[in-house]
């Protein structure tokens, strides 16, 4: 069985969750749910990044200990996921002791492999980014280009990570795996950063105490980015197995992946994933062999360099396999909004969910802003899409279809031949959606499905079942139209489950569609599962359905 591992960035706990965080989590959830429908074993990870200066500073400003602020905000992020309808399999916190121990283990290995040395670092540092800025990045007035706060001149005795040793291996990686980063513009951006020459970077911080202690020098903690990046790997070593996924102790080594085939730097020459270090006691529930390397890390462009450069270099230094792909989405821009009647002028995820439900928010964000590009969001645009697309196009299609089956056929779906013209318009749809989602083209896949929602609305108008119903001689035609329509609605709903999990599932329940796998996303597949007209089992009528997207 294939496996699929998808991650979101782990979010800083220095502030409360907002729409931007919700966005990446929703997108990752679409991929996770889609792969579950394909029958893959899925692991979907999200969580919180709790160490480092930004969190320590925010806590002190509030008169709190960092741990107190972390506990408070981590709960808010943890609670956000289910409210968004996100089906994450685990929620990692970088203050989890198991994560911290794993960070120490891996970074000690990086040191043993010869990629860590002691030195002095001097540079312009942004405490909000927890990052040193290169001279060419600094904004006028000696400010951070992202946060616009004044940079601090820092000089520190540090341990360094020999990033420069990975210049050539990373260039080779990018040459061999052109799909390592999408969209292409981000791949180019990362590659040109690498080509401009990699400099060694601090691995530890001396003055900070809020972090993972460095095992070989108690006066240091690890630089928060190395701690944070390792969450993607550490989580697998202690997260419980998702339902239906056998643990390695019961599945032996069947899940071991082929090595990614990326050449190692000469000093770390070895192939593939490394076995647990001698003497280490493997956790019997360890999911690492089952799910590592990750299939997709979803991030926004703000953290590209860490994921596209530091992360693969760190993994190479630790002799671990590299993730398969990064997808870098754009920013949701929220300025310049018009006032909206029901939502005020802030698209607050909690307020939207409260009034319209999580599905509406998921749909709007993934439909209105092409995934991968920047885009403005607004309450007005949200309300327009809600009304015209969710309520009118999909919601009405659903209620009309069920109402006609009830009125003309006592609620029993006829098992008639599917209209060949309509079948033609659905041909290859499930495959197209799979191909698009394999490339994380989440908006395009939704658009392909939505074109069929519109096609079904046109089909109703073209065939006018209400006219056929007036003529007893056309009963066979009416059967065909209703059967085709119900099948079309079932197929689009199956494909919409990853996007609109609550509403699409409700509609599928009402249609009595039991098979929720992608294999059933073909026109006609639903009819085969119904009892034949002469069977002893009486046909089950369609269920009741409250409006999917009511007027608020």
- Contact footprint for ligand MSP (CB under 6 A): 9-12, 20-21, 23-24, 49, 228-229, 231, 299-300, 302-303, 331-332
Nearer to ligand MSP, 73 or 444 (CB): 73
Torsion, Cα 228 234 238 244, to 10 degrees, reads 100
In the complex, least distance from residue 21 CB atom to ligand MSP, rounded to whole angstroms? 5
Residue-by-residue DSSP string for 52-114: SHHHHHHHHHTT--HHHHHHHHHHHHHHHHHHTT---SEEEETT-HHHHHHHHHHHHHHHHTT
- Between 402 and 440, CB nearer to ligand MSP: 440
Omega within 30 of 0 (cis) for the link into 183: yes
Q: Which is nearer to ligand MSP, 223 or 408 (CB)?
A: 223
Of 35, 133, 144, 329, which residue is the catalytic one? 144
CA max distance for the chain: 90
**Nearer to ligand MSP by C-beta: 288 or 493?**
288
- How many whole angstroms separate alpha carbon 49 and alpha carbon 6? 17
Question: What phi-psi label fits residue 515: left (phi over 0), alpha (psi between -120 and 50 degrees) or beta?
Answer: beta
User: Do strands 375-376 and 204-205 pair parallel, antiparallel, or not at all (unpaired)?
Assistant: unpaired
Is-catalytic flag, 126? yes
From CA 345, how far away is CA 335, in angstroms rounded?
10
Cα 22 from chain centroid?
A: 10
Sheet holding 152-161, edge to edge: 131-133, 116-126, 152-161, 201-202
User: What are residue 153's DSSP bridge partners?
Assistant: 124
Active site residue 341: yes
Report d(CA 294, CA 322) in Å as an integer.
Answer: 8
Nearer to ligand MSP, 11 or 180 (CB): 11
Shortest reach from residue 328's CB to ligand MSP, in Å: 8
Record the tokens describing residue 271, joined without a space. 């192939």
Q: How many other CB atoms sit within 10 Å of the CB of residue 39?
A: 12
Q: Minimal distance in Å, beta carbon 151 to ligand MSP?
A: 18
Torsion of CA 178, 180, 181, 187, to 10 degrees: -40
Active site residue 21: yes
Asked if residues 180 and 191 have their Cβ atoms less than 8 Å apart, the reply is no
Spot the catalytic one: 35, 329, 341, 470: 341
Task: Check if the beta carbon of residue 58 is closer than 8 Å to that of residue 19.
Answer: no
Q: For this structure, is 147 an active site residue? A: yes
Provide the β-strand partners of residue 11.
Answer: 48
One of 35, 126, 297, 329 is an active-site residue; which one? 126
SS3 of residue 177 by DSSP: coil
Q: Which one from 34, 99, 129, 220 is the annotated catalytic residue?
A: 129
Q: How far is the CB of 311 from ligand MSP (least distance, A)?
A: 8
Nearest to ligand MSP of 113, 231 (CB atom): 231
Residue 101 or 146: which CB sits closer to ligand MSP? Answer: 146
**90-93 and 41-49 as β-strands: parallel, antiparallel, unpaired?**
parallel
Paired tokens of 50: 């709790």
CB atoms within 10 A of CB 82: 11
Per-residue DSSP letter, 199: -
Q: Smallest gap, in angstroms, from Cβ of residue 164 to ligand MSP? A: 22
| Closest CB 424 distance from ligand MSP, rounded Å | 39
Active site includes 297?
A: no
Shortest CB 88 distance to ligand MSP, Å: 14
C-beta closer to ligand MSP: residue 5 or 459: 5
SS (H, E, C) 303-366: HHHHHHHHHHHHHHHCCCCCCCEEEEECCEECCCCCCECCCECCCCHHHHHHHHCHHHHHHHHH
Find the helix packing angle between 475-496 and 442-463, rounded to 10°. 170
- Residue (350 or 415) nearer to ligand MSP, CB: 350
State the nearest-atom distance from the C-beta of 326 to ligand MSP, in Å. Answer: 11
CB 116 within 8 A of CB 123: no
Q: C-beta of 332: minimal distance to ligand MSP in Å? A: 4
Q: Residue 50 Cβ, how far from ligand MSP at the closest point, in Å?
A: 9
Q: Which residue is nearest to ligand MSP (CB)?
A: 20
| Cα(308)–Cα(331) distance, integer angstroms | 18
Shorter beta-carbon distance to ligand MSP: residue 50 or 419: 50
Catalytic residue ranges: 18, 21, 126, 129, 144, 147, 338, 341
């Amino acid at each position: 069985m294939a496996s699929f591992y998808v991650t979101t960035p782990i979010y800083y706990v220095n502030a409360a969750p907002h729409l931007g965080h919700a966005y990446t989590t929703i997108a990752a959830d679409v991929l996770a749910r889609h792969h579950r429908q394909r029958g893959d074993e899925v692991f979907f990870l999200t969580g919180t990044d709790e160490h480092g200066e930004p969190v320590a500073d925010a806590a002190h400003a509030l008169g709190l200990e960092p741990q107190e602020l972390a506990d408070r905000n981590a709960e808010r992020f943890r609670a956000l996921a289910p409210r968004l309808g996100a089906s994450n399999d685990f929620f990692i916190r970088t203050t989890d002791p198991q994560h911290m121990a794993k960070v120490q283990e891996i970074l000690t290995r990086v040191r043993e492999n010869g990629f860590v040395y002691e030195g002095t670092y001097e540079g312009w540092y942004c405490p909000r980014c927890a990052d040193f800025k290169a001279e060419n990045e600094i904004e006028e007035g000696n400010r951070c280009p992202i946060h616009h706060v004044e940079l601090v001149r820092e000089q520190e005795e540090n341990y360094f990570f020999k990033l420069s040793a990975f210049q050539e291996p990373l260039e080779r990686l990018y040459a061999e795996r052109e799909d390592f980063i999408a969209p292409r513009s981000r791949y180019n951006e990362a590659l040109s950063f690498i080509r401009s020459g990699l400099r060694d970077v601090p691995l530890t911080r001396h003055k900070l105490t809020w972090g993972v202690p460095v095992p070989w020098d108690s006066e240091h903690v690890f630089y928060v980015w190395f701690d944070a990046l390792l969450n993607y790997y550490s989580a697998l070593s202690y997260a419980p197995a998702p339902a239906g996924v056998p643990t390695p102790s019961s599945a032996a080594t069947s899940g071991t992946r082929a090595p990614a085939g990326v050449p190692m730097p000469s000093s770390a020459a070895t192939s593939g994933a490394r076995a647990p270090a001698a003497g280490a006691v493997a956790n019997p529930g360890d999911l690492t062999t089952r799910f590592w390397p990750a299939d997709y890390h979803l991030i926004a462009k703000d953290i590209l360099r860490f994921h596209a450069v530091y992360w693969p270099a760190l993994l190479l230094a630790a002799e671990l396999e590299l993730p398969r792909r990064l997808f870098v989405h754009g920013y949701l821009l929220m300025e310049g909004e018009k006032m909206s009647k029901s939502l005020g002028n802030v698209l607050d995820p909690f307020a939207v969910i409260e009034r319209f439900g999580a599905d509406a928010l998921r749909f709007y964000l993934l439909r209105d802003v092409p995934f991968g590009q920047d885009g403005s969001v607004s309450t007005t645009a949200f309300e327009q899409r809600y009304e015209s697309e969710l309520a009118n196009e999909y919601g009405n299609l659903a209620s009309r279809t069920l109402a006609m089956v009830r009125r003309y056929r006592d609620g029993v779906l006829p098992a008639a031949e599917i209209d060949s013209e309509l079948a033609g318009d659905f041909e290859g749809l499930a495959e197209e959606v799979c191909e698009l989602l394999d490339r994380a083209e989440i908006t395009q896949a939704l658009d392909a499905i939505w074109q069929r929602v519109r096609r079904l609305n046109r089909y109703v108008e073209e065939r006018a079942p209400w006219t056929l119903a007036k003529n007893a001689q056309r009963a066979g035609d009416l059967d065909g139209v209703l059967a085709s329509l119900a099948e079309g609605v079932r197929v689009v709903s199956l494909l919409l489950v990853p996007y609109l999990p609550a509403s699409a599932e409700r509609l599928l329940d009402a249609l009595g569609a039991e098979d929720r796998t992608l294999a059933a996303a073909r026109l006609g597949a639903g009819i085969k599962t119904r009892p034949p007209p002469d069977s002893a089992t009486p046909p089950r009528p369609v269920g009741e359905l409250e409006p999917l997207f009511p007027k608020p």
